[in-house]
Amino acid sequence: MTVNSVTSNGPARAGEALHDGRQQTDKAIPEAWKLDPSLLAGLKLPLETFKNNLIELDLPRKSDILSQSELEITESYSVYELLTGLAKGSLTSLEVTTAFAKRASIAHQVTNCLTEIFFDQALDRARALDTQREQGKPIGPLHGLPVSLKECFQLDGIPATLGLLAYSGHVSTTNSALVELLTELGAVFYCKTNIPQTMMAADSHNYIFGRTLNPWNTSLTAGGSSGGESALVAFRGSPLGVGTDLAGSVRIPSLCCGTYGFRPSADRIPYFGQQSCANGGLRTITSCAGPIANSMDALEVFMKAVVNATPARLDPFVLDIPWREVRGTIKPKLRFGVIPEDSVFPIHPPVKNAVNKAVKLLEANGHEIVRLQPEDCLVAKSALVAWALMDLDDTADRVVAAGGEPPIPARVRMREEMAKIDWSCIADVGSTPGVARLAALTVKRSEIINAWRKLWQHHQLDAVIGPPAQNTAVEHDEYGIPPYTQLLNFLDYPACVIPFGRARSLNPPEKFESKAGQSAPKYNPENLDGAPCSIQVFTQKMRDEECMEIAKVVDRCLH
């Protein structure tokens, strides 16, 4: 029994593709690594409808698929410790890759987080890297480390379908720039992870591979668009995952699954050569690649290794700027702005509680807090301008139509939520698509970016913290619009999501109700009980190094 017992609606062709895609991925799992059905006997089915905590179930330990040393490798080592062991020879790449491949296999069988599996290829590379290390020839700072990749990254010889029927026959004949770079640095790729149809939704669900489930609660979304990545990392089936982020696609799944996620400034990390369903000539809001992991140190390891490897050699758009060491320049006591609740996008009680608790802990550690005003932060207006800019590109809709598949429910829900909002603040940009509308929206974006520049200067801020979303993970297809993550893509600010606590259902439950003109997911406190909560930390554009260092300060305060 696997997560494939879950059903999905769609036309006949979509149903056939879903069956074939899942079957192909499942077949790639070695028979010895498949779960005994008896281990899953206590789960409530269908998984996507009922609350099941797969983390507490501890299937990797109960299954006897992993040895004791493999359990320790996947559970007890940080990325830094893994790399140290790999460099010294106390760990081999073969044993580390095998451990994470086994655990990824288990994760997929219950969360449906993987799209492509190529374990044999990975184990061959791990053996070769071990031989090189034994000869005193390690090839880079990530030598021998297993790294998982979001479906959109291209690896030569591996399919890259984006979960779209129109792309169902596509097999990559080249590597994405970041894949090429990480290979040079010594990474071992072993799997690719699931995404939403078009990568423009917060629910990782498509008609080729199906839906990814949240390992903390299978009735909740794993987030998107890097949802398969974060579900895998949360299950500890990967020590370091790579996602992408256009409106929060690294940070949304991180907040949903309780992982750490970093969105760098655009063009710091190579993005060139990815499979895409967008118009490459419309770079209105620039997507970027970023890491997902279970600790801050893993995020920093990734950023330093990639940025210091001169990625401009492989990507014509990457800024040729080395990673700056800023540790000694960060003040011991920092001045934090706090993002307030926007009236258009009200915040669920657990998220409010997490932010308030984080603020108190920062104050208790001597940091200064400045509570920003909603009218200064322009969260709603930023979201509207951002979505209007992205709506200029209809390529994804045309690709979906060409494949003969319907939009996934999460994309339909997003449109429904947008229809609830008052768009009059950007009515003057006109409704006819074209250069004039693009120019008018770009002017509005520039005005908001400049307003934020003035906000930083006026309050003399070192960083800003706040909610990464209105909500924790919510039921499948209910996430809606992501204004609090989209804001940072719109401003092009580096941002880090830090897991912090759990949602708790109180008796009586805290009330939440959205009003006319507002957009918010439904709040079901009983079902959300135990869902991960998170905090978002961000700095100004190109201050990625400061953002990382300050996020480490916040992480220490919170934990």
Which candidate, 405, 474, 413, 473, places its Cα nearest to that of 9?
405
541 burial class (0-12, 13-18, 19+ CB within 10 angstroms)? middle
Q: Can you tell me the distance from the alpha carbon of 29 to that of 118, in angstroms, rounded to the nearest whole number? A: 9
- Quick check: 205 and 408 in contact, CB under 8 A? yes
Distances (CA, A) of 368 to 332, 364, 556, 557: 11, 10, 16, 13
Q: Is 400 helix (H, G, I), strand (E, B) or coil?
A: helix
List own/partner pairs for 7-14 with CB under 8 A and 24 or more apart.
7/46, 8/205, 8/207, 8/210, 8/211, 9/406, 9/409, 10/207, 10/405, 10/406, 11/404, 11/405, 11/406, 13/165, 13/403, 13/404, 13/405, 14/165, 14/207, 14/404, 14/405, 14/406
Residue type, 319: L
368 burial class (0-12, 13-18, 19+ CB within 10 angstroms)? middle
The angle at the Cα of 184, spanning 180 to 187, to the nearest 5 degrees, equals: 90
Residues annotated as catalytic are: 150, 225, 249
Q: For residue 346, is the peptide bond before it cis, meaning its omega torsion is within 30 degrees of 0?
A: no
Give one DSSP letter per residue of 207-267, joined into a string: TTTEE-EETTEEEEE--SSSHHHHHHHHTTS-SSEEEEESSSTTHHHHHHHT-EEEEPPTT
Q: What are the percentages of helix, strand and coil residues in the chain, rounded to 5?
A: 45, 15, 45
The angle at the Cα of 280, spanning 224 to 400, to the nearest 5 degrees, equals: 55
Q: Can you tell me the distance from the alpha carbon of 97 to that of 237, in angstroms, rounded to the nearest whole number? A: 10
Which candidate, 144, 140, 145, places its Cα nearest to that of 127?
144
- Quick check: 232 and 259 in contact, CB under 8 A? no
DSSP letter, residue 89: T
What are the start-end ranges of the E strands in 118-176? Answer: 146-150
